[in-house]
Amino acid sequence: MSKKERIQKEIDKTLGLFEQHESLPPNPYFYTRVQQRLIEKLRKEYSFSTVLKPAFFTALIVLNLTTAIWYTTSDDLTNRSEENIELTDILKSDFNLDDDQTESLIFE
């Protein structure tokens, strides 16, 4: 038998395996496992919608409130620091203070 014929024989034998149906043995727990997966997935979705979602929105509201409070407070601080600068300028000119003395006055 020539090499070409042997190759063709091997190919035919190999392709002939398509006819031999090799099937998986039945799995009696298959439906139970699918159910478990569904329950697990629903539980995860439930925990997100009932616990995580409200927690996320509460955190968002708290963050908003904190930002609003901080914004209002920081506005006060800016006003106060502007007042302080004005006062320091007046004191500097009235008492003829140099920069170092003015600085120490600010820190005190």
Partner 1 sequence: MSEQVFNITDFQSIVENLQEKVRNTCFRYVRNAEDADDIAQDVFVQVYESMSRFREDAQLSTWVYRIAVNKSLDFLRSKKRKKRFGQLISLFKSVGDNEEIIEIPTYCTPEKELEDKERKEVLDWAISKLPDNQKTAIILSKYEGFSNKEIKEIMNMSLSAVEALIHRAKKNLHNALHDYFEKHI
| Chain contacts with partner 1 (rule: CB under 8 A) | 3, 6-7, 10-11, 13-15, 17-18, 20-24, 26-27, 30-31, 33-34, 37-38, 41
CB nearer to partner 1: give 41 or 80: 41
Choose among 81, 79, 87: nearest CA to 105: 87
- The size of the chain, in residues, is 108
CB nearer to partner 1: give 7 or 65: 7
> Cα dist. 53→38, 41, 43, 64, 71 in Å?
21, 16, 14, 17, 27
Q: Is the dihedral of CA 78, 89, 99, 107 positive or negative?
A: negative
CB of 40 to partner 1, least distance (A): 9
CB of 66 to partner 1, least distance (A): 39
CB nearer to partner 1: give 33 or 80: 33
CB nearer to partner 1: give 2 or 93: 2
Interatomic CA distance for residues 32 and 39, integer angstroms: 10
Asked if residue 105 lies in contact with residue 91, where contact means CB atoms within 8 angstroms, the answer is yes
